[in-house]
Amino acid sequence: MTIRKVDFPSHQPVLIRSLIEKLPFVAGVWIDCTFGAGGYTRALLDAGAQKVIGIDRDPSTLAHAATLKAKYGSKFELCEANFSMLELVAKQFKLKQISGIVFDVGVSSMQIDEAGRGFSFQRDGPLDMRMSQNGVTAADIVNNVSEADLADIIYYYGEDRAARVIAKAIIKERTTQEINSTEHLSNLINGAIGRSNYKSNKSVNPSTRTFQALRIAVNNELEELYLALIAAEKILDEGAILAVVSFHSLEDRIIKKFIKSRSTNGSGQSRYLPQLKSNSPTFRELFNKVLRPTDEEILANPRARSAKLRIATRLRPTGGRGNSVKIEFPKVNYKLGIRQ
What one-character DSSP code corresponds to residue 60? Answer: G
Length of the chain: 340
83 contacts 90 by C-beta, under 8 angstroms: no
Total of residues contacting ligand SAM (CB under 6 A): 21
What are residue 321's phi and psi, to 5 degrees? -85, -15
To the nearest whole angstrom, how small is the minimum distance from the Cβ of residue 86 to ligand SAM? Answer: 9
To the nearest whole angstrom, how small is the minimum distance from the Cβ of residue 132 to ligand SAM? Answer: 8
To the nearest whole angstrom, how small is the minimum distance from the Cβ of residue 193 to ligand SAM? Answer: 28
User: According to the binding rule CB under 6 A, does residue 82 interact with ligand SAM?
Assistant: yes
Which residues in 99-138 contact ligand SAM (CB under 6 A)?
Answer: 104-106, 108, 131
User: According to the binding rule CB under 6 A, does residue 61 interact with ligand SAM?
Assistant: yes
- Hey, which residues does 181 pair with through a beta bridge? 126
Q: What is the DSSP string of 218-281?
A: HHTHHHHHHHHHHHHHHHPPTT-EEEEEESSHHHHHHHHHHHHHHHSTTTTS-TTSPPPGGGS-
Among 36, 118, 158, 206, binds ligand SAM (CB under 6 A): 36
Which residues in 221-250 contact ligand SAM (CB under 6 A)?
Answer: 224
What span, in angstroms and rounded, lies between the C-alpha atoms of 23 and 224?
Answer: 26
User: According to the binding rule CB under 6 A, does residue 251 interact with ligand SAM?
Assistant: no
User: According to the binding rule CB under 6 A, does residue 182 interact with ligand SAM?
Assistant: no
Shorter beta-carbon distance to ligand SAM: residue 150 or 309 = 309
What span, in angstroms and rounded, lies between the C-alpha atoms of 170 and 192?
Answer: 9
To the nearest whole angstrom, how small is the minimum distance from the Cβ of residue 81 to ligand SAM? Answer: 6
Binding site for ligand SAM (CB under 6 A): 11, 13, 34, 36-40, 55-58, 61, 82-83, 104-106, 108, 131, 224
